[in-house]
A and B are shown apart, each in its own frame.
Chain A
Amino acid sequence: MTTRTTRRRVALSFLIVVLIAVFFVARLIDIQVIGASAYNEASAGKMSIPETVYGKRGDIVDSAGNLLATERTTYDVTVSPRNAKEFKRKTDSGEVTVTPQMAAKEIAAITKQSPDDIITIINDALAEDPNSDFAYVAKGVDVDAFTAINSLDIPWIYFEQNPSRAYPNGAVAGNLLGFVGSDGTPLAGLELGEQDCVGGVNGSQSYARGADGVRIPGSTAVTEAAKNGSTLKLTIHSDLQWFAQQALAATASSQNAKWGMTVVMEVKTGRLVVVADYPTFDPNNIDAYDPADRGSRAFTSPYEPGSTMKSLTAASLVDAGLVNPLSQIDSPQYIEFPNGAGFKDWGPHPANLTLQGVLSWSSNSGISQLGALLDPEKRYDYMTNFGLGQTTAVGFPGESAGLLRSWDQWDNQSFYTMLFGQGLTLTSIQMASAYATIGNGGLRAPVSLVESCTDADGKVTTPDQPEPVRVISAQAARTTVNMLENVVAHGWLADYINVPGYRIAAKTGTAEQSDGHGGYSDKFIVSLAVLFPADDPQYVVLTSLASPDSNSSASIVSDVNNLIKQIIKTEGVQPSTGKPVEYSDYY
């Protein structure tokens, strides 16, 4: 009996011990294995402080490496309204009491607010919630203001720091650069279009902090590494860009023009040296500008080019072997074609014109008769090869392809008017590229605005560019440049487009523009396209101005001449050699 009782007791005890052990093991597995991640998370939330590691946005620089856009830290000044009471400050002359009014005055002097505004911010926050612990005093102050406010040692003022974008050159190339939102999201221009290059990727990390607020060494754990953006190098020359913008803005504002643009392109490479827009846009101060003026019209706003188009028509005709500079055409003041199309020339001129004379006098009747010699399908192919009707290789955000209808959709009037630049639209960049093609011996180089993208490790990537396109023969291109040089020499341009030692080829354009109601308005878009030096063209300059008071391209010629001189000085363009080829205007 006694033995059995003892055995039972032992067995029971053993069972109880085993049960307890099983319970503990089960609980241990529950905590350590099943619920491990949840507990880890909860503990991390209680012990560690997470923080965002900002991936710095890359710089944007010009072709010489001058900074156009960079990342800066700005600070938001915040206040704890419920603690905004007077405090003691130690000064050299002993301890002084500083009232909230005095502190507000000190802050206001730095943030350029009124002291009353700051007091109002505090009072409003307290009126809404007497326990309010947070309100913004000023947003986006720079590091100098931050240092100044921080050194005031006001116990109820705190700071939040934010990465923000700064454009040290202001409106220089501002229309191209675009801008980013206050949260760092790219919103327009190259900031948006080249996000893959300049955009940084934010990372995160956490660390543990002691009771005294000091970070515990070695406790930093990187959850996700931040990635800094790369440096975007443009083909733009910022000094020339400024010069062109300044001259364009001066003329455009004195002529009350609606908008304008100046494009300078390297003939042989298709690199854009200047893309100046008017109105200019300073991305440091986005809100001060009309949304329509914040982009680059040179890329996004196509227009009917007018007579600058005649050079392309003439080049196509010469290349097709249908005409030469001395081909004769009876060019009346007013012409009506059998299909019903009709139009007139701008001013009186002799009717016995050669192709050279047609260009010199900018005769619509002359160029339309000659242009009609070319098969419409071929004409369309030439225009497409010149780059019309398609976006350029730049791929600028919002870039327009212009409007070039397929040859079988041309109506009777535009069949002829397209030959002198009405009834089709194109952007300044497309037109500059077409002139560069003529200057480059008939080879159209892809347009480029971005030179390279360099990452933090120094790895340089250049954008993929399509192959150059052969548009016209080198001989046809040379002949066209010669004719454009005669255009300058034979007309009123000679007095304005004139740089001693340099031969210059150019064509003006005065285009009718849509009034927005299906007709043409009485205001024109005036343009001037220049190739220089004419013996071996290096640069294209194209300036257009919409609705100037004078309604004439004479309003822009002296600006263009000054810009040519500036380019010659800045880029060290060699003077011309050889003599121009003379073609007569008349037969």
Chain B
Amino acid sequence: MSMARPLVSGRIAPGIEIVPPVRQLRAVTNNIGRKRRPKVFFATITVMTIFLISAAQILLSISTQSGAYEIAGLQQQVKDLGRTYQSATQDLDRMTSPQNIAQFAQALGMVGNSNPVYLRLSDSVVTGSASAARAGKNSVGSSDLVPNAMLTDLVAERDAAARATSDAQARQAHVPAPAANVSSDRAPAPASATVAVPSPQGIPSPTTH
């Protein structure tokens, strides 16, 4: 404004000085007011937009980032579960092996009877002679004849479990009341323990018909 006056007064003839300043003031004031409002508005919009974009980008980046961590975490979980699955199926597969089942069956006192006897329904004829299975007669023999290296750990674990059970039983039997001088954390020598699972040789022959 202060710049406008000398410029205007310098260009207009001296006789008509009074009118132009009035007109000028009004016009300039109005003009400047009108021009400034949109500038602030747009500036605000621009700044806000930039701010919003940056914020959105940061949020997006954070969510992508956390998504990446989540994916990595879930992938790790998949891996861990896969390992658990493998460990479980590995145990299941080797437990279902014929060697293991035969050992278990023998340990439980089961004896194979290889005498098939049939009853023919049409004429009620019995073919074959029924005879009782006897331990030893149809024994499947020693377990190392058809070896299975995958059972080595399993057998060791089973023996350890059997020993632990028999130890516990032995402790219960021999030490009725917890005595102060008996340290409970020391396991009795395995040799003195009675094995919980009967051995195939030592079982009484069950009579089956």
Q: Which residues of A contact B (CB under 8 A)?
A: 66-67, 70, 72-73, 142-144, 146-147, 166-172, 210, 214-217, 238-239, 242-243, 245-247, 249-250, 253, 280, 282, 284-285, 288, 499-501, 562, 565-566, 568-569, 575
Contact = CB atoms under 8 A, between A and B. Distances in A.
B69 interface: yes
A169 B87 contact: no
Given A214-B69, A282-B147, A569-B116, A72 B98 contact: no
Contacts of B117: 500-501
Given A170-B147, A217-B67, A501-B118, A72 B99 contact: no
B149 A282 contact: yes
A70 B93 contact: yes
A282 B148 contact: yes
B114 interface: yes
B9 interface: no
18 contacts: A73-B86, A144-B87, A166-B150, A169-B97, A170-B99, A170-B148, A172-B98, A217-B68, A238-B98, A239-B98, A246-B141, A250-B142, A499-B128, A500-B128, A501-B118, A501-B127, A501-B128, A575-B120
A377 B148 CA distance: 49
B129 interface: yes
A172 B97 contact: yes
Interface in B109-133: 114-118, 120, 127-129
Nearest to A568: B116
B90 A72 contact: yes
B93 A67 contact: yes
A88 to B, nearest CB: 24
B127 A170 contact: no
A411 B142 CA distance: 48
Contacts of B151: 170
A569 B145 contact: no
Contact of B146 (A143, A146, A214, A245): A245
B147 A562 contact: no
B141 A500 contact: no
B94 interface: yes
Interchain residue pairs A-B with the least CB separation, the first 8: A170-B148, A501-B127, A168-B93, A242-B98, A284-B149, A249-B145, A500-B128, A285-B149
A250 B120 CA distance: 35
A317 B182 CA distance: 85
A169 B90 contact: no
A562 B146 contact: no
Contacts of A565: 114-116
A146 B98 contact: no
Nearest to A247: B141
Given A243-B140, A284-B148, A500-B127, A168 B96 contact: yes
Of listed B90, B99, B148, residue having the most chain A CB within 10 A: B148
A77 B147 CA distance: 27
Contacts of B161: none
Contact of B83 (A143, A171, A253): A143
A66 B96 contact: yes
Given A166-B90, A217-B71, A239-B98, A246 B146 contact: yes
Given A147-B83, A501-B118, A575 B146 contact: no
B116 A172 contact: no
B134 to A, nearest CB: 14
A242 B99 contact: yes
A497 to B, nearest CB: 14
B64 interface: yes
B141 A142 contact: no
Nearest to B92: A168
Given A67-B93, A166-B90, A253-B145, 13 more contacts: A143-B86, A171-B147, A216-B68, A243-B98, A243-B140, A250-B141, A280-B146, A282-B149, A284-B148, A499-B116, A500-B115, A500-B128, A501-B127
Contacts of B75: 215
B149 A170 contact: yes
Contacts of A284: 148-150
Nearest to B67: A217
B68 to A, nearest CB: 5
A253 B97 CA distance: 23
Given A167-B150, A569-B114, A143 B90 contact: yes
A217 B145 contact: no
A576 B192 CA distance: 55
A500 B72 CA distance: 67
A449 B83 CA distance: 33
B44 interface: no
Contacts of A215: 68, 71-72, 75
Interface in B22-51: none
Of listed A72, A144, A168, A247, residue having the most chain B CB within 10 A: A168
B138 interface: yes
A253 B141 CA distance: 12
Given A245-B145, A501-B116, A575 B127 contact: yes
Contacts of A66: 96
B72 A214 contact: yes
A267 to B, nearest CB: 19
Contact of A250 (B64, B72, B93, B145): B145
Contacts of B150: 166-168, 170, 284
